[in-house]
Structure 1
């Protein structure tokens, strides 16, 4: 191959690497998604489902390892609301909603709700790079090898619907679902706030 060809291939490789870790202030994939250009991407339609307390199924039991190798389990989150977001690094709508998720995570920290990501495709290095690029501080379970998290939530998330965000009540039951990217942070904020409020029922006299 000619020197010019080698240079061309190197430039393409560098451009691809830059695209993978582009910051949220200028992200072509996220911008394409916001503009309505899905590039053949299969995702949810953004529909919102709320489940009345009396109609919720059994608590979801799960366990896994985070991108830093720390073990996590459903028992760790009982007693408070848990927001579970399914994502992966090259997912355009996942990038588009990352800021909103992190902002809400910070807003509800210590106030009755915790966030947990579930990365369905990446190994630790890419997951950590994504979190650093987008300033995400909550952990994510790596689910690419055995799909255990997806299996645990299989009754709540359909195949190919990434991102999907679930709100679990204090008992670990699915209380609400956003199938696809979060259209407005205020929508998820309301779902979280309403579910937190359930955990403080008025006692009968």
Structure 2
């Protein structure tokens, strides 16, 4: 499969995020509109667009730490030297549920092959996350980020803060190499992004 076009330099991603935060204060805020309409949908879904970032345009390594659903801790240092796929989600998010089987399959495909997966649950408490993972047979862990938003803050220069789901591929240096904004609609695209990022160290 040919490489997809590189859309946004890393330096601009933070500006995009800042713009979204600022526009969230206006009357055009989608979350506010949903609240006024009483839809209760509670999430802003991306459009599934893919952004690849050339190695020379990537920002600093993302440093993070958090608490997993089982109460243990995790940090960026635990994934040093390997590709890491980070998926932002929560249990009642419809596109998160739709992409869960694909993420399960892809995470198993790359287990022990140079890439790990880490979820970031932005809304639930641990019991809900555990029930979700059991239902979809997902074995990779998730950080429970609802209380302090530490991981969302760590990645705030790389993802729009209200886009759920979002999937990031970090290179072996911990820099964001690619982003899927919204549901992973094509598993083959995520597989290719991961393979390409792993191959950079080859």
2:55 paired residue number:
53
Matched, 1:167 2:178: no
TM-score (norm 2): 0.79
User: How many corresponding residue pairs?
Assistant: 163
| CA distance, structure 1, for counterparts of residue 53 and residue 74 of structure 2 | 25
Task: Please give the residue correspondences for 1:102-181 in structure 2 after superposition, counting only pairs within 5 Å.
Answer: 102-181=104-183
Displacement of 1:159 after TM fit?
2.4
| CA distance, structure 2, for counterparts of residue 93 and residue 102 of structure 1 | 14
| CA distance, structure 1, for counterparts of residue 196 and residue 104 of structure 2 | 19
Deviations 1:88-134 (A, max 9, x none): 00000000000000100100000000000000000000000000001
Runs (5+) with no aligned partner, structure 1: 1-38, 201-205
Cα RMSD (Å): 1.3
Displacement of 1:163 after TM fit?
0.2
Displacement of 1:42 after TM fit?
2.0
Matched, 1:100 2:86: no
Following TM superposition, the consecutive aligned residue runs of length 4 or more in structure 1 with deviations greater than 6 angstroms are: none
Displacement of 1:181 after TM fit?
0.3
1:9 paired residue number:
none
Question: 8 Å contact 2:64–2:154 — kept in the other structure?
Answer: yes
1:64 paired residue number:
66
Runs (5+) with no aligned partner, structure 2: 1-40
TM-score (norm 1): 0.78
Larger Rg: 1
